[in-house]
Amino acid sequence: MKDHYYIACDLGADSGRVMLGCLKQGAISLEEIHRFPNGVAKIQGTFRWNILRIFEELKTGLRKIAEKKIAVEGMSVDSWGVDYVLFNERQPMLALPYQYRDPRTEAPYQAALEKVGKKRIFEETGIQFMSINTLYQLLADVEHNGDVLAIADQFLCIADYLNYLFSGVACAEESLASTTQIYNPATRQWSRELINELGLPERIFPKIVPSGTQIGTLLPSIQEETGIAEIPVCATCSHDTGAAVAAVPAEGKGWAYLSSGTWSLIGVETPAPYLNDATRGYNFTNEAGYGGTTRLLKNIVGLWLLQESRRDWIRQGQVISYDELDRQAEQSEPFRSLINPNDPSFLQPDDMPAKIAAYCRATGQPEPETPGQITRCIFESLALSYRQMLNQLEELTGEQITRLHIVGGGTKSPVLSQYAANATGRTVLTGPIEATACGNILIQALTLGHLESLEQLRNVIRKSFPIQGYQPKDACKWSDAFARFSALVK
């Protein structure tokens, strides 16, 4: 059987990577070729993505792969959702794209809810309400950047835009389009109703293509610049969570997934969206998955809380590894302080330890003081939020969930994984760490005919990576803590 090589350009909110994947004898292996930081750029009081630097870093990764003299058969980019780039026929980028944490969207968000109403927006899109969604970013452009919007031909979300720079083909991949809150899951097209009612320019909305579409081939100019030969450029699941969920090594029924990184995305895979009042009331989202599936999930703040805290400690001269933070968390007092991870005060960057302390002070709890106490507070609070979300998913679907598959960078913390098992009262199975890159690569394999089905893809994952299991402990203590947590998040 022939070995197949693919390139995954995997962009997270904190870092980006160029990965080389090999499908050989029914198993996949990964090699990290190039990694680079991917933080926000602050310009005149706004948060932006330096998309040109990201593009250059990806080309650096391609050049390193070309030096290996390997016959690569495909490439694809995946990224976070909601953010986008505006461009036209003459100008490949009209402005540096805003980062979703920029506060410009709050007023348009409130105005849209008042004009259209949550019920109609949810019935039209099935997406959870967050002010960061593309819908409210575009409304902010209408209000404040009308001159730029007036000369734009199209917008593309981040991964789709980079696929466009590599291939010259502009289109919106379905899983990424579904994060915008302007996509209708019933028609599988843009919501013309919302576009017209909210006064968005219809011309800027690109063609939507299904997950797993070959959109073109690598441009001759990129081939010359990087040394990579002409290869297919695929829109796999351009949304990183969509790619990660495709690579969850689950079997049968009764399982949920948690993609654990900067954000925690917890949900179940369903054959159709849930567009009812109960789903809207719990603020769950229906995002498109591979093969026409739906990712019924909740997007909650994840390891962003710890990443920002660690950045603050480093600025103060305390360089503490994540392994050391795990150790200090285990040694700290249990359930001393709990937070609601989704409290709006935690959305913006900078001074996260002080924000956590202020939250605990305001809710009558001891303020966490040491890195270990803060880490334990974050981990326990995240684990308890997982319990809440799984309980709500069981209520919404009527299906019992007995296993939680955790994939992504968060699986590097055995402490958080054990807390997740303890808090949820369910078996936790962790791995693979690089689920997004695996999904990106193996959906390329499906697109190019080297694999046949999503089931076969997941068989490849199970064959390729060890899966670590965690069983719940201390049920009574965690139930008491959940009662405290529930009082905080009402």
Pairing status of strand 403-407 against strand 294-301: unpaired
Check pLDDT > 70 for residue 72.
yes
> Is 211 inside a domain boundary?
yes
The two tokens of residue 70 are: 């390997």
Q: What is the pLDDT of residues 437-481, one digit of tens each?
A: 999 999 999 999 999 999 999 999 999 999 999 999 999 999 999
What does the alpha-carbon distance between residue 444 and residue 8 come to, in Å, rounded to a whole number? 9
Structure confidence at residue 348 (pLDDT): 84
| Whether 240 is catalytic | yes
Q: Give the residue numbers spanning the domain of 261.
A: 248-431+452-490
**229 and 320 belong to one structural domain:** no
Q: What is the mean pLDDT of the chain?
A: 97
Domain boundary among the residues 240, 264, 299 is at 240
The sign one gets for the Cα dihedral 422, 427, 432, 438 is: negative
Structure confidence at residue 371 (pLDDT): 98
Domain boundary among the residues 222, 240, 258 is at 240
Task: Name the residue type at position 42.
Answer: K
**346 and 483 belong to one structural domain:** yes
What does the alpha-carbon distance between residue 313 and residue 306 come to, in Å, rounded to a whole number? 10
Strand order from edge to edge, sheet including 27-37: 27-37, 15-24, 4-11, 72-78, 232-235, 213-217
**184 and 279 belong to one structural domain:** no
CATH number at residue 205: 3.30.420.40
Q: How many domains does the chain have?
A: 2
Phi, psi of 118 (to 5 degrees): -60, -40
**How many other C-beta atoms can be found within 10 angstroms of the C-beta atom of residue 171?**
21
Q: What is the mean pLDDT of residues 103-130?
A: 97
Q: What is the mean pLDDT of residues 20-33?
A: 97
**473 and 346 belong to one structural domain:** yes
**232 and 257 belong to one structural domain:** no
Among 78, 102, 240, 326, the active-site one is 240
> Is 346 inside a domain boundary?
yes
What does the alpha-carbon distance between residue 173 and residue 157 come to, in Å, rounded to a whole number? 9
The two tokens of residue 356 are: 């956590």
**230 and 316 belong to one structural domain:** no
Q: What is the pLDDT of residues 331-376, one digit of tens each?
A: 999 999 999 999 999 988 889 999 999 999 999 999 999 999 999 9
**217 and 260 belong to one structural domain:** no
Q: Which bin fits 181, alpha (ψ -120 to 50), beta or left (φ > 0)? A: left
Task: Mention every residue, 6+ apart, whose C-beta is less than 8 A from residue 234.
Answer: 74, 75, 76, 212, 213, 214, 215, 443, 444, 447, 448
Q: Name the pTM for this structure.
A: 0.94
Task: Name the residue type at position 355.
Answer: K
Structure confidence at residue 1 (pLDDT): 64
Structure confidence at residue 349 (pLDDT): 85
Q: Are 211 and 295 in contact (CB under 8 A)?
A: no
What does the alpha-carbon distance between residue 428 and residue 410 come to, in Å, rounded to a whole number? 13
> Is 480 inside a domain boundary?
yes
Structure confidence at residue 441 (pLDDT): 98
Q: What is the mean pLDDT of residues 63-78?
A: 98
Structure confidence at residue 39 (pLDDT): 80
Task: With H, G, I as helix, E, B as strand and everything else as coil, classify residue 260.
Answer: strand
What does the alpha-carbon distance between residue 259 and residue 256 come to, in Å, rounded to a whole number? 10
SS (HEC) of 334-374: CCCCCCCCCCHHHCCCCCHHHHHHHHHHHCCCCCCCCHHHH
Structure confidence at residue 14 (pLDDT): 82
Q: Are 193 and 205 in contact (CB under 8 A)?
A: no
**263 and 368 belong to one structural domain:** yes
Domain boundary among the residues 240, 260, 295 is at 240
Check pLDDT > 90 for residue 40.
no
> Is 440 inside a domain boundary?
no
Pairing status of strand 294-301 against strand 183-184: unpaired
Q: Which bin fits 345, alpha (ψ -120 to 50), beta or left (φ > 0)? A: alpha
Residue 190's nearest CA partner among 237, 138, 151, 263 is 138
Q: Which of 13-17, 401-405, 422-426 has the lowest mean pLDDT?
A: 13-17
What does the alpha-carbon distance between residue 154 and residue 133 come to, in Å, rounded to a whole number? 17
**385 and 457 belong to one structural domain:** yes
Task: Name the residue type at position 124.
Answer: E
Task: Mention every residue, 6+ apart, whose C-beta is less than 8 A from residue 314.
Answer: 320
Task: Mention every residue, 6+ apart, whose C-beta is less than 8 A from residue 12.
Answer: 38, 79, 80, 240, 261, 262, 409, 436
Q: What is the pLDDT of residues 131-178, one digit of tens each?
A: 999 999 999 999 999 999 999 999 999 999 999 999 999 999 999 999
Pairing status of strand 232-235 against strand 294-301: unpaired
Q: What is the mean pLDDT of residues 89-97?
A: 97
Task: Mention every residue, 6+ apart, whose C-beta is less than 8 A from residue 283.
Answer: 128, 129, 298
Helix, strand, coil percentages for the chain (3-state, nearest 5)? 45, 20, 35
> Is 76 inside a domain boundary?
yes
Structure confidence at residue 485 (pLDDT): 98
**257 and 345 belong to one structural domain:** yes
Give the bridge partners for 454, in sequence order. none
DSSP string computed for 116-160: H-HHHHHHHH-----TTSHHHHHHHHHHH-HHHHHT-SEEEEHHH
Cα angle 380, 383, 388 (rounded to 5 degrees) comes to 125
**312 and 184 belong to one structural domain:** no
The sign one gets for the Cα dihedral 324, 330, 331, 337 is: positive
Structure confidence at residue 350 (pLDDT): 86
DSSP label at 433?
T
